[in-house]
Structures are given as structure tokens and as C-alpha cells.
A and B are shown apart, each in its own frame.
Chain A
């Protein structure tokens, strides 16, 4: 309860980051090169105290100084101007109109029955409806070639394509040199992002993470009590807010009345590990996951001391029954924080929602769906784990313009009578897709690493077989 009281004092746009146009310590250094060492020391002091004073403290208490808002306004204006310039350049060349879907081909979504039926139109229909013609392969060939040119699944595992260039080098695959002014603007952006924003954000992230480790370890020493819970939530919130500022996250939370409550399960679509930071900025969650090594391991071990997060050993994860039981015990205890689960099980590029694994929907209890949609214009939040490791991903985040994201809390959902876990999972998935403006796919996100199961091919074969022998066959 105290935690939420603490939260309520925050202004609506709490996840603010401060980009203080502070006197740059380096520039001072160059002006008085002789007294370099004492100057450097005092410069570092100024730097740190500015970071602490203008960012850390407001972050810890969830106050915004309005600097982020100004930064965002300037940024949006700049990008609008850039888009205008690019489009103008295009009109002159009369080429490359951006299509709203970013697709390259128009696919027919007609069913197999309809399409093959059309192919067989020139032949007399047989009474049982079944037939085979040599032209049936046209259907499979075109479908196959279409999927080679463009498919629904694999494109979700690589970065989303933008309609217009957002002045980050890495997104300029399809937009080449446009104009001198844009190039100068881009160069200026590089200097700002790499030389000013990145060091600031790295400092903040380091402070945030060490604060989490130290804070939770100290709180963990206290005997269990209400004070301990309160302190633990306080430490978590402070840390996440500092980290969010370290990523320049501007998060808009919608429908706060639907925020997950204790004793429930919060499910969300998954784009990147920073989803956790985004959500935890606005409330405390119990995390579920596998025990990691390295830095993640240190963080996990200290976190669990102060707050009942649920970490599994790799071997335990295989035992579905044990996992479900531990989660069920947690949910049944109404004093414990809501569990945060990403049922897709892998990061998707924020254009679609893929199959929800049914596990989280077999536990019972109330499901609190949350839709997270990042604005790709300011930086690509998708973590392509096949291409980048965690650290280089975070560095890319910290050298982007900002992380802007919308979070919608959806009304709580419970399993309906006569509905099995899979159907329930699909219902929740559709609700999230609809709210977040994401494409609702039934493919398994696990296809990122694994091959598709043969049973899906067998389904296609079965469907086609019924067209060959007709519906009334008894085979």
C-alpha cells in the first residue's frame, strides 16, 4: 500500500530524463590546460553533482523537471523537418513512395479451397468435389515463392523498417545521401548522442544498477516485516526510475485504473529486456525467470533477498509441474506482488504479437494484460539477440535518441467457463494486439531458433487431401 502511495505522488509524465545543458567539463579543461589536473577533478565533481542533483534526486522521488519534455519537443520538430526534406527530395526524383505497410508484395489471403477451386474452373466439377489437376501445383508454387519474397514470421525477428529515416545511421539502409543540410544535422546528432547523451546515460545506468544491488542487499538483511516490504519496493522503484532515465525513457501509461494488483499475473508482449524497466517504473512486480550468470546473476541474487522474485535453475525450468506449482503458490498468496510474465518467450520486433505459451494461463488467478508499443522513430527497442549481445544492445539503446513508449493497462481477464488454457491465451493475445496496434499472429516465437514442427505441414497436406478425394471420402 505504501508503495502505491509513493507512486501516486508522481506527475503523469514521471519517467523523465534530464538532459541538462550543463557546462561541459571538457570544454573548461581545454581553456585552462596548465592547471589540468585540479581542473579535471573539479570538473568531474561538477559533472557528478549535476548528475546527482538534476537527474538522480528527481528520479528517486519521481519528480520531473520538464527537461525531457523540452528535449522531446525539439527532437520531434527536428525529425519532422528531416522527414519533410527527405520527402521533398523524393518528389523531385519521383520515386520510392513510402507504402503504409512497408510490404513489397500483395498477398492473396484466399483459402486453399478458393484458390485451387479457381485453378480447376475450366474442368467440369466432379460430384464429390474432389479432383486433382496438374495445375494444383500453381497454388503451392505461388504460395512458396511469396513466402520466399516476404513472410510473416522471419521479418518479425529483425528490426522493423521505418517509413522515414530518423537520422540514426543504422536505419539508413534504404535511404541514402539526401542533402547537405541533413548530413550536417546527422553529424550533429552523432556528436550529441555519442559524446553527451551516452556518457550521461552510462553513468546513470551504472548508478542505478549498483543502487539496486546495494539497496536490495541491505534491505534483505532486515527481518521480514511490513517495513521491509515497503523499503524493498522503494528501492526497486528508485532503481528502475534511475535506469529508465539512463535509457531516456519517456513512457505514457494509459488506463492506470487497470494496473495489475497483488495476487495476479501480469502478461505483456515482449520486445526487449527493457520492457521490465518500463513496466517496473510504474509499479512493483515479482519477476519470473531463469537464473543467469555474470552481472545478471549478481543482480538477481541480491534482488531476491529483499523481495520474493521467482528464479529457476535451468534444470528446474524443464519440470513444468514444479514451475506451475511455484507460480501457483505465489499467486495464491494475496500479499505477494503480481508476477510479470512475457508469454511469447522471446523478443519480437514490436510490430506483432506471436503465440502465447499456455503455461502462464494454466496457473489460474486473474490475468492483467498489458500492451507495450515503442515508438520506433526515436530508437529501435527490439533486442535481436541473435545479432547483438546484451551489452552492445544496451549501448545501442543509450546512443539512440530516446526510448518513447506507450503502455496500456487492459481490464483484468479471467478464464471463462469451457475455455481451455490455449483459447484463453489466444483471447488475451488478441486483446493486447488490438490495443497496441500490433499484428496478431498465431506462429510460435520459438521459430526464431527452432524449425517449424512437421505437424503443421501435415495439416496442410490433410487440407489438400480433402480437396483431392472430396469431402465424403471415408479414408
Chain B
């Protein structure tokens, strides 16, 4: 692996440097190499970074009702380019949780693919203004993206009200991240927010 790849490998799986010649490392190396070539084929401008346009060119993403929100997750506030490092950082949220990672759990730094970080990714899809709260208005906007023109304003409004009531425990009429975690505690986040790699 070249140097930029090693750096991105740390983003991808911070355990990679601990074990020498673990056959699993070869899988990780393979995944990173493949993602690197995918990154390059998406990079139509060939400047080593992806723009929002580059993402929108993927038809399956363009028809995804939340496509724009997902693309946004790759771009830190105020930036309109993402390099391979940043690309891997966001993708790493969707790396499956391996058994040994589950048991360790209490490391100093939590890996990007932990349950909490996966939930944070989903939370930020709703949190349009990045103030760590989902307001009724934000929830309504995201709902509108998902359903398009097919549901009336009143109906969508009552759905939003009900959802916030169910989740809100401190009565501020919005959903904080800890409330979000609580509502979704029964959902198999580890599995549902993971991409299964073949290698």
C-alpha cells in the first residue's frame, strides 16, 4: 500500500496496524484498494477530490429520496470537495462491526463504525442546521424529501408531531441525540447500517 492508502486505512479500520500478517489485513487492503479505484472512477474532474456533481452522477443515488442528504454527509460544513481520506471517513461508518470490535468496545477512541457513530450518521441526516437537535421543522423537511408530493401537509404535520412526542422526553419539542438513541434502542443498527463486503 502506498502512503495515502495507509493513512486512509487508518480511517477505515484503526485496528489494521496492530496485527501483523493477519489474513484479515489482506481483506482490508483489498477493500481499500477497490474503494480507491472506485473513488478515481467517480472523480470525473480527475483532481483527486469529489464534488457533489460527481456523486449525483450515480443514477441509483440520484433517485434515492435522501440522496442529497447522504451526499451532504461527505462534505464538512462549507466545503464542496472531498478527498479520498474524507471519502473513507464517511464510508467507514458503514463498515460492519466485527466480533472482536464488539467485545473491546471501551477503547479511548470509538471506531467510526460503532453503534453510536452509525446512529449519529442517521441523526445528522435529519439535523439540517447541525445544531444537534431535530426540530419539528427539520423533521418535516426531511419527511417531505422522502415522500415527495404524495402526502398532504396536514397528514405529514401530524406524523411529525407524533414522532416528536414519542421521542421527546424533556419537553423541548425537539429530538436530541440521546433521545434519538433511546427511541432506536431496539433496532439492529449494527446490521442495518452496514454494507457487507465480499472479502
Chain A contact residues, CB within 8 Å of chain B: 93-97, 99, 101, 103-106, 118-119, 122, 132-155, 158, 173-174, 443, 447, 451-452, 456-462, 464-466, 468-469, 475
Q: How far is the CA of A460 from the CA of B167 in the complex (A)?
A: 27
Q: What are the residues of chain B within 8 A of A104 when measuring CB–CB?
A: 31, 34-35, 38, 197-199
Taking the closest CB of chain A, its distance from the CB of B155, in whole angstroms, is 7
19 more A-B contacts (CB under 8 A) besides A134-B122, A457-B62, A465-B147?
Answer: A94-B23, A106-B198, A137-B66, A141-B121, A143-B60, A144-B70, A147-B61, A147-B64, A149-B35, A149-B91, A154-B41, A154-B42, A173-B37, A174-B33, A451-B56, A459-B63, A464-B146, A465-B148, A465-B151
Q: How far is the CA of A134 from the CA of B163 in the complex (A)?
A: 8
User: In this assembly, does B130 line the interface, its C-beta being within 8 Å of a C-beta of chain A?
Assistant: no
User: In this assembly, does B86 line the interface, its C-beta being within 8 Å of a C-beta of chain A?
Assistant: no
User: In this assembly, does B58 line the interface, its C-beta being within 8 Å of a C-beta of chain A?
Assistant: yes
Partner of A143, one of B23, B42, B59, B64: B64
CB closest chain-A residue, reference B189:
A138
Do A468 and B147 form a contact, CB below 8 Å, given A141-B125, A142-B94, A158-B41?
yes
Is A138 in contact with B192, judged by CB distance below 8 angstroms? yes
10 A-B pairs with CB atoms under 8 Å apart are A95-B26, A104-B199, A119-B187, A138-B192, A139-B192, A140-B64, A147-B58, A148-B61, A458-B148, A462-B148
Q: What are the residues of chain A within 8 A of B30 when measuring CB–CB?
A: 95-96
Q: How far is the CA of A134 from the CA of B179 in the complex (A)?
A: 11
Q: How far is the CA of A103 from the CA of B148 in the complex (A)?
A: 33
Q: What are the residues of chain A within 8 A of B194 when measuring CB–CB?
A: 142
Per-residue 0/1 for B2-35: is the Cβ within 8 Å of any A Cβ (1 yes, 0 no)?
A: 0000000000000000000001001001110111
Q: What are the residues of chain B within 8 A of A146 when measuring CB–CB?
A: 195
Is B66 in contact with A140, judged by CB distance below 8 angstroms? yes
User: In this assembly, does B128 line the interface, its C-beta being within 8 Å of a C-beta of chain A?
Assistant: no
Is A97 in contact with B199, judged by CB distance below 8 angstroms? yes
Taking the closest CB of chain A, its distance from the CB of B137, in whole angstroms, is 16
CB closest chain-A residue, reference B179:
A134
CB closest chain-B residue, reference A461:
B148
Q: How far is the CA of A101 from the CA of B198 in the complex (A)?
A: 10
Q: Could you tell me how many residues of chain B have their Cβ less than 8 Å away from some Cβ of chain A? A: 60
Is A134 in contact with B183, judged by CB distance below 8 angstroms? yes
Taking the closest CB of chain A, its distance from the CB of B118, in whole angstroms, is 9
Q: What are the residues of chain B within 8 A of A96 when measuring CB–CB?
A: 26, 30
Q: What are the residues of chain B within 8 A of A468 when measuring CB–CB?
A: 146-147, 151, 159
Is B26 in contact with A94, judged by CB distance below 8 angstroms? yes
Q: What are the residues of chain A within 8 A of B121 when measuring CB–CB?
A: 141
Is B70 in contact with A140, judged by CB distance below 8 angstroms? yes
- For residues 178 through 199 of chain B, which have their beta carbon under 8 Å from a beta carbon of chain A? 180, 183-184, 186-187, 189, 192-199
User: In this assembly, does B67 line the interface, its C-beta being within 8 Å of a C-beta of chain A?
Assistant: yes
Q: How far is the CA of A137 from the CA of B193 in the complex (A)?
A: 10
Task: State the total of A-B contacts with C-beta under 8 angstroms.
Answer: 173
Taking the closest CB of chain A, its distance from the CB of B9, in whole angstroms, is 15
User: In this assembly, does B143 line the interface, its C-beta being within 8 Å of a C-beta of chain A?
Assistant: yes
Q: How far is the CA of A132 from the CA of B147 in the complex (A)?
A: 11
Q: How far is the CA of A173 from the CA of B26 in the complex (A)?
A: 17
Taking the closest CB of chain A, its distance from the CB of B61, in whole angstroms, is 5
User: In this assembly, does B152 line the interface, its C-beta being within 8 Å of a C-beta of chain A?
Assistant: yes
CB closest chain-B residue, reference A147:
B60
Per-residue 0/1 for B54-98: is the Cβ within 8 Å of any A Cβ (1 yes, 0 no)?
A: 011111111111110010000000000000000000010010000
Q: How far is the CA of A129 from the CA of B22 in the complex (A)?
A: 48
Q: How far is the CA of A452 from the CA of B33 in the complex (A)?
A: 29
Partner of B159, one of A94, A132, A147, A452: A132
Q: How far is the CA of A107 from the CA of B167 in the complex (A)?
A: 31
Q: How far is the CA of A106 from the CA of B196 in the complex (A)?
A: 5
User: Among A459, A468, A475, which residue has the most Cβ atoms of chain B within 10 A?
Assistant: A468
Is A141 in contact with B66, judged by CB distance below 8 angstroms? yes
Partner of B195, one of A119, A145, A173, A461: A145
User: In this assembly, does B150 line the interface, its C-beta being within 8 Å of a C-beta of chain A?
Assistant: yes
Do A105 and B61 form a contact, CB below 8 Å, given A138-B192, A145-B94, A464-B146?
no
Q: What are the residues of chain B within 8 A of A137 when measuring CB–CB?
A: 66, 122, 125-126, 142, 146
CB closest chain-A residue, reference B50:
A148
Q: What are the residues of chain A within 8 A of B142 when measuring CB–CB?
A: 137
Q: How far is the CA of A101 from the CA of B62 in the complex (A)?
A: 25
Q: How far is the CA of A119 from the CA of B188 in the complex (A)?
A: 8
Q: What are the residues of chain A within 8 A of B143 when measuring CB–CB?
A: 132
CB closest chain-B residue, reference A443:
B59
Taking the closest CB of chain A, its distance from the CB of B37, in whole angstroms, is 6
Q: What are the residues of chain A within 8 A of B66 when measuring CB–CB?
A: 137, 140-141, 144
Q: What are the residues of chain A within 8 A of B37 when measuring CB–CB?
A: 173-174
Q: What are the residues of chain B within 8 A of A469 when measuring CB–CB?
A: 151, 155
Is A452 in contact with B125, judged by CB distance below 8 angstroms? no
User: Among A151, A456, A465, A469, which residue has the most Cβ atoms of chain B within 10 A?
Assistant: A465
Q: What are the residues of chain B within 8 A of A464 when measuring CB–CB?
A: 65, 146-147
Taking the closest CB of chain A, its distance from the CB of B29, in whole angstroms, is 8
Q: How far is the CA of A134 from the CA of B196 in the complex (A)?
A: 23
Is A142 in contact with B59, judged by CB distance below 8 angstroms? no
CB closest chain-B residue, reference A158:
B41
Is A142 in contact with B184, judged by CB distance below 8 angstroms? no
Partner of B199, one of A99, A119, A150, A447: A99
Q: How far is the CA of A471 from the CA of B42 in the complex (A)?
A: 39
Is B60 in contact with A138, judged by CB distance below 8 angstroms? no
Taking the closest CB of chain A, its distance from the CB of B138, in whole angstroms, is 12
